[in-house]
Amino acid sequence: MFFPFFIAQAPPPVEIVRPQEVRVLPGQLDQIPVFNSNSPEKVLGEGILLSTFPATGKTHPDAHLDFPFSGRFDLFAHHVAQGSPEDLRSLHIGAIAYNPSDQPVTLYFLNGASYLSQPDAPFIALDPQVPNPRGNVYAGPGSRVMDNLLRRRLQEQFPKQLTIAPQSYQMIFDLPIPVRELEPPLNGRSTYLELNSTGPVYVASLALFEKPDGQGDFRPPTLAEWQALLETGELSSPRDRPPSVPGAPGGLIYGRVAGVSEGSTWKTQIYDSPTWDLTIPAPGEAFSYGISTLVGGTHGTGQIQTAEMLRRYPDTAYAAHGNYGVLYDLTLPLHNPTEATQTVAIALETPIKQDATDEALRFFDPLPTATFFRGPVRVNYKDDTGRLRTDYFHLVQKRGQAGEPLVTLEMPPGDRRLVNIQLRYPPDATPPQVLTVKTQSDNMNNLGKKNHSSRLSKW
């Protein structure tokens, strides 16, 4: 006789609607250009990933975007290597610079880091919010790189400066992505550098496999081999899925970024009164500001924060969707104008992406498995005892997840308190997020107004 058995299925997620105001984030991105190398994300073949060199004299002129950097600029590169049983060579990601002038140019390394998924920063399971005072909590290379940048550190493997002779090439870095000892043979590397150049330089990111050394082992590529690839090589393939044309009907495909984007920092003071104060919400109420909002995900504000592309390849993203690496430096001059002490909390959250204009955010219960934010946040503020504090947290949030408080303040009548929130938008995240300010009501300690699940009742 056949006895059927049944496997219990997880209940489908239910949308929890939280009526509240969502506001436009004041300010804008700065104008610092960013060398933004993220396509193809998975690099399966040697070739040019991104070149801002002039096309003149190059074998494949369409691989070069002709954009010189001078003064402050940033360099971001995020790529993945995948080996096969027949080929387990390490892929090297190289960044090469050229000084076209007749004077030496010095490249200063201000802050920056580069980490591998394995073994530097594996994707481990972490709680949604973990205090991280020493920077030893991370999950994934993007998370760890962004933590280094928040602490304004320059990793020891990078020099403090690099001088490039006139009409000469220099490697900014040559970093391997090993796969030989991994199962499966898959590894990734995230790199972000804040740089300052005393003169014009052209920059390219390139991919080459390690080379046989003639003695049964392998060696890194030489400067001559990198230079030859730059001058004669073509774009690395296979390519990523191309983006949809802005405004075209049908599904929205953002695509991956390869080009020069404009803007590395969004720094602003958020206020809503002539006295430059940010009035706290009424008891039991909340308001939020979008973080990394983009086409199709503005939460009703209509604000698109995505960095524009100054140069791009035709089959790559039309904008730097996600603002990977961008520093959000937000100061909230909170003011309690009431005659009662109010409890105010601030959190970063990942509501369901939407363009709706019904003044509500939506969350899931139970939460799905996909992680949409994984990275560090820094909070500077004066606590209730008057002590200045700097707190670091590592956050992991699923799609549709409400946040836990980064800071909670007891604000007496008339109190004013500056709170500064800083985050570098991590490469492993999916936008958008929101920064929420909530005033607790007298008789409830949950985030929502009513009929909300326990997942929304953390602050």
DSSP 260-290: EEE-SEEEEE---STTS-EEPPPTT-EEEEE
Contacts of 372 by beta carbon, 8 Å cutoff, 6+ apart: 350, 397, 398, 399, 401, 429, 430, 433
- For residue 215, give both structure tokens: 């003695």
Q: Note the Cα 421 to chain centre separation in Å.
A: 15
Each of the 459 residues of the chain gets a pLDDT tens digit; together they read 444 444 556 678 899 999 999 999 999 999 999 999 999 999 999 999 999 999 999 999 999 999 999 999 999 999 999 999 999 999 999 999 999 999 999 999 999 999 999 999 999 999 999 999 999 999 999 999 999 999 999 999 999 999 999 999 999 999 999 999 999 999 999 999 999 999 999 999 999 999 999 999 999 999 999 999 999 999 999 999 999 999 888 889 999 999 999 999 999 999 998 889 999 999 999 999 999 999 999 999 999 999 999 999 999 999 999 999 999 999 999 999 999 999 999 999 999 999 987 889 999 999 999 999 999 999 999 999 999 999 999 999 999 999 999 999 999 999 999 999 999 999 989 999 999 999 998 754 444 333 333 344 445
Picking from 163, 169, 121, 91, the residue whose alpha carbon sits closest to that of residue 394 is 121
- How far apart are the C-alpha atoms of 236 and 40, rounded to whole Å? 7
Q: How many CA atoms lie within 13 A of 61 on its CB side?
A: 4
- Residue 28 · residue 16 · CB < 8 Å: no
Q: Is the dihedral of CA 17, 23, 27, 29 positive or negative?
A: positive
Q: pTM of the prediction? A: 0.93
- How far apart are the C-alpha atoms of 116 and 157, rounded to whole Å? 13
Q: Which three-class secondary structure state does DSSP give residue 211?
A: strand
CB atoms within 10 A of CB 304: 17
CB atoms within 10 A of CB 111: 18
Picking from 434, 375, 379, the residue whose alpha carbon sits closest to that of residue 409 is 379
- For residue 97, give both structure tokens: 């610079």
| Sheet with 342-349: strands ordered across | 21-23, 286-291, 433-439, 342-349, 407-411
Question: Nearest 5°: phi and psi at 225?
Answer: -70, -40
Block residue for tokens 């363009």: 355
